[in-house]
Structure 1
Amino acid sequence: MTFSLRLALCLPTLFCGLICAGHAQARDLFGLELPGAASETGRHSEAASAEPFPVRAYQGVDTPRIMAEGDIERVAYRLTGTSLTSYQMISPLREQLEAQGFDILFTCADTVCGGFDFRYLLDLLPEPAMHVDLGDYQYLVAQDDSERVVSILTSRAPTSGFMQITTVVPTDAPPVELTPPDSTEILPQLAQPTGALATQLESRGRVVLGDLAFDTGAATLGDGPFASLQRLASYLMTHPEVRIVLVGHTDNVGALDSNTALSRKRAQSVRQRLISRYGVSSAQISAEGIGYLAPLVSNGTEEGRDQNRRVEAVIASTQ
């Protein structure tokens, strides 16, 4: 028995994303038929955005990637009670994509891909929606002539299979204009209302703290107040079971070692502010920095570098 999935094409002004269809033969030019009894476990959409997909095995900061721009849809599925291997789950999807004219840009398996390091180059929905066994997963990325991109990751748990299908469909929507002040290096995304911050944190497992300000090249956090920290503190204090990691990011100007150190110090400054000013328990927050290893967008423009200089809150545990 199969579960049919229709990956719908989008008009330039309409973001359609992934649509579940009940009939195995109902498919369009972007249609895929999933193996096994699949059920959707999570979904996240971004209109007029961009995402880098690895097209070679992990090579550190030099890992080649393709930057896909457009409307992004990430959908995770669980195949309950299946005995299919990760390869058996992804293989028929690859064949369907090739039959529809997609070029397979790259495919690999767990340790060949790069294991832990490669997996964390990917933007995956968090547990429990998408489970990844770092020693048992399969990955592919494909593109067609209209620059639509499909990325698939499959993995296993003891009694279930998991897969995430990420699609990027080009859109005509104009890019967001970013106009940070000249005197400081401002992270560009606006802080969300409390509800929106909580929703993004819980649905995606991470959220950009978009209104933080640091002096250029410095780790000291500005005096504020910063609405994103107020809302994050409120969320953490009302959810004492949640543990987060504050992750600092930089652009790619300069050496990796110095950027990593700077990004970690910035994350530590944010952690200290949440503890000292807002009274968040220190046990709920840790801080790390990964320099320029996980850009949101290309560092090829000043606007892109502005977006990549940021601190994110990432859920580490809800126990």
Structure 2
Amino acid sequence: MLKKLPFIAQESSLKVLLIGISFVASPIHAATVDLVMPSNAILTAEREEVATVQPLPAGVFDNKDTIFLNAEGQVRHSAYRIASTSLTPFQMLEPLKKQLIDQGYTSVFACADSVCGGYDFRYLLDILPVPHMRVDLGNFQYFLAENFSGDIVAIVASRARTAGFLHITQVDAQSTEQPVEIPPSAGLPDNKDTILSTQVPSRPLGGLVNKLITQGVVPLDDLAFETGSSTLGSGPFASLEDIADYLIRTSEAKLILVGHTDNEGSLEGNINLSRQRAASVRERLVSRYDVPSAQISAQGIGFLAPRATNVTEVGREKNRRVEAVLASPR
């Protein structure tokens, strides 16, 4: 019987709802590999899937010929943040690799950032979203291992500006609670827990980011500010998560946040307010999502570019917004 994962950081009952799935910041509670995490590692999110097939890259990105290991069983994704660390992704990953090997796991595949395939490889990975897990496309490590029982562990290690991040995917082949229906298109033979496959899962960009790329501008309509203030609400805001994810993995992209208001009050006052609101959004992307500050600037143009009439309250509400403008090509 596999043991529980020892967790040194303090337990928390924080529950975060993301994309309709509950993530609970608490120690892993089911049968898993026995790993000792760094003492300052904090579990920030977790997602569990019972009786499923989890495709995991088992080779470098090679378009349709990319090799995958399809692991069947109970799947748990866990994200950890290591604050104020100077460790490189390699240094974060190596002790975990050694622990796995000591417990009878065998390396299936390992690679680093551009060798793996950079952007294309990262988006083959099923990992928890920002801010729980961040992957620097030029600075990450990947390791995939399997033991004699068919249990699988995949680890991604990366860094942001001020913290390290670890993502651990564990597939417990012994804990399948119900039969797994495998589509014929997956090409999986009967009575096999894991095989090498060339099926590549789709990882499309979000609709908001696609619109930003194709149209050059997108309103961030889910943002909420305190009445008459430039203070951004606590969120979370899905638009900022999408924008942050895009900017972090597209380092050449530059974004201008442009604030807009209705026409109540003076032009000068509204320009100042709109600029402050855009600056508040910029600060949130930098401080909470670790987006490099050099990629984002903030401007405000008051009521000079309405998208609806200012005669009605509905129109004025539509005009009070912050837009993201792509200042450089993808």
* TM-score of the superposed pair, with normalisation by structure 1: 0.49
Find the structure with the greater CA-based Rg: 2
* TM-score of the superposed pair, with normalisation by structure 2: 0.47
